């Protein structure tokens, strides 16, 4: 059963297995393990970004395609669901309709970009995707009547997903099962399903061809594989997953706007998570997204506590001032790249393979 779920792609490291199990348990029981809105919001964001990073790793890590348009597809999913809920009634039909429209638009754009530009060299494709993503972000802010411009759109969700909804009269293990908790588990279930789907794709014959193209596109072409076709299909699949992640984000935030879905900062975060976790390893998306978002959300409060504890040492207290959290986040990233050049997952699997070869 487990082999089928994981498509035969095991972590291949006891330590990695323990980390992944801890992350899964932490996310599965987050509303019951952690108190406060900040903790569950962080857990939901981790679920969303696991899907987003896994979809990007399908492009970068497994196919060798560098794209800067991934946040655009994320935004298409967010706007697709958000605008249908804003314009229509707050119903499940509106969510399905919005997601369907977003998927059609996202896949069509990915197909068009792939057919037009995947024949050129990698750097030119990256520049084309950057230009398209920038143009889309500008359009989203200028169509005020439809998208709300810079302010975005807030919208209502179905009643069962609203904070005021109560599924049970009495708390369950001290937690009130309201619409917010139901929304979290909807996001969590979607993240698990999409991640397992991505794992199945990269471990299928299709995924093996993508890896062959990544290693040597000319050799794959010589063997009879249509490289442009496979790259375009990978681009479409990655775009569809990113659209779904955007829809999950919109439902969780009950808001969609350029800063939350289309910002280039999101694209940079995705790149950092892929590098930290390890390119070409779907499990890297889980570890990279979890570590990065925990650091992003909790490093500043930890530095504030450290600065308060070191108040008697002025130099150290100023060094750990919470306003410098981005500096420390950058240092942590540089250290992770230095000590884990193949990412955390690549390092752990490499150590496991080295130990097996030595024995």
At 194-214, the pLDDT tens digits run 999 999 999 999 999 999 988
Q: 11-16: long-range contacts (C-beta < 8 A, 24 or more apart)?
A: 11/283, 12/349, 12/352, 12/353, 13/348, 13/349, 13/351, 13/352, 15/348, 16/283, 16/345, 16/348, 16/349
User: What pLDDT is attached to residue 86?
Assistant: 92
Mean pLDDT over 11-38 rounds to 89
| Weakest-pLDDT range from 1-5, 33-37, 64-68, 83-87 | 1-5
**pLDDT at residue 330 above 90?**
no
Q: For residue 204, report the phi and psi dihedrals to the nearest 5 degrees.
A: -90, 170
Q: For 25-85, give the DSSP string.
A: HHHHTHHHH--SHHHHHHHHHHHHHHHHHHHHHHHHHHH----S-HHHHHHHHHHHHHHHH
Place of tokens 């024949």: 119
Give the other-Cβ count within 10 Å of 234's Cβ.
27
Mean pLDDT over 17-42 rounds to 91
**107-152 pLDDT tens trace:** 999 999 888 777 666 677 888 888 889 988 888 888 888 888 888 8
**pLDDT at residue 83 above 90?**
yes
User: What pLDDT is attached to residue 150?
Assistant: 87
User: What pLDDT is attached to residue 146?
Assistant: 86
**102-118 pLDDT tens trace:** 999 999 999 998 887 77
Q: In order of start, what are the domains of the chain with their CATH numbers?
A: 12-358 (1.10.3470)
Contact call for residues 232 and 206 (beta carbons, < 8 A): no
Segments in 203-324 forming alpha helices (H): 205-215, 217-222, 227-253, 258-261, 264-277, 282-309, 314-319
| Weakest-pLDDT range from 58-62, 174-178, 255-259, 302-306 | 302-306
**88-100 pLDDT tens trace:** 888 999 999 999 9
260-289 b/e (C-beta count within 10 Å ≥ 16 → b): bbbbeebbebbbbbbbbbbbbbbbbbbbbb
Q: Are strands 255-256 and 153-154 parallel, antiparallel or unpaired?
A: antiparallel
CA distances from 229 to 96, 124, 197, 245 (A): 29, 18, 20, 24
User: What pLDDT is attached to residue 3?
Assistant: 67
Helices then strands, each counted (H, E), the chain? 18, 2
More confident site: 344 or 57? 57
**Quick one: which of 10, 18, 12 has its CA closest to 352?**
12
**Quick one: which of 229, 250, 278 has its CA closest to 20?**
278
**pLDDT at residue 58 above 80?**
yes
- 92: exposed, middle or buried (C-beta count within 10 Å: 0-12, 13-18, 19+)? exposed
**pLDDT at residue 2 above 70?**
no
**233-276 pLDDT tens trace:** 999 999 999 999 999 999 999 999 988 888 888 998 999 899 88
**pLDDT at residue 357 above 60?**
no
Q: How far is 287 from 116, CA to CA, in rounded Å?
A: 34
């Amino acid at each position: 059963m487990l082999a089928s779920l994981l498509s035969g792609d095991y972590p291949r490291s006891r330590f990695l297995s323990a980390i992944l199990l801890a992350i899964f348990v932490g996310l599965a029981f987050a509303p019951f393990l952690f108190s406060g809105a900040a903790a569950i919001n962080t857990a939901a964001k981790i679920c969303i970004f696991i899907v987003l990073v896994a979809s990007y790793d399908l492009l970068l890590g497994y196919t060798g395609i560098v794209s800067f348009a991934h946040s655009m597809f994320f935004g298409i999913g967010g706007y697709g669901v958000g605008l249908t809920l804003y314009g229509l009634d707050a119903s499940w039909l509106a969510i399905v309709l919005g997601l369907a429209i977003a998927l059609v638009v996202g896949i069509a754009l990915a197909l068009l970009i792939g057919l037009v530009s995947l024949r050129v060299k990698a750097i030119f494709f990256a520049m084309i995707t950057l230009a398209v993503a920038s143009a889309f972000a500008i359009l989203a802010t200028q169509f005020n009547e439809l998208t709300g411009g810079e302010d975005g759109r807030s919208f209502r969700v179905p009643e069962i997903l609203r904070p005021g909804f109560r599924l049970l009269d009495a708390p369950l293990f001290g937690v009130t099962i309201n619409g917010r908790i139901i929304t979290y588990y909807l996001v969590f279930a979607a993240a698990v399903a999409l991640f397992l789907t991505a794992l199945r794709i990269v471990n299928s014959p299709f995924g093996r061809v993508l890896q062959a193209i990544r290693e040597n596109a000319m050799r794959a072409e010589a063997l009879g594989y249509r490289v442009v076709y496979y790259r375009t299909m990978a681009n479409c699949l990655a775009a569809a997953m990113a659209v779904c992640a955007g829809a999950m984000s919109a439902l969780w935030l009950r808001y969609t706007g350029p800063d939350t879905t289309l910002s280039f900062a999101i694209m940079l975060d995705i790149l950092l998570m892929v590098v930290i976790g390890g390119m070409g390893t779907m499990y890297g998306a889980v570890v990279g997204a979890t570590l990065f978002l925990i650091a992003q959300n909790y490093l500043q409060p930890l530095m504030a506590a450290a600065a308060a504890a070191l108040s008697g040492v002025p130099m150290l207290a100023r060094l750990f001032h919470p306003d410098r959290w981005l500096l420390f986040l950058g240092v942590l990233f540089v250290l992770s790249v230095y000590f884990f050049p193949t990412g955390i997952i690549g390092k752990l699997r490499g150590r496991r393979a080295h130990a097996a070869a030595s024995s």
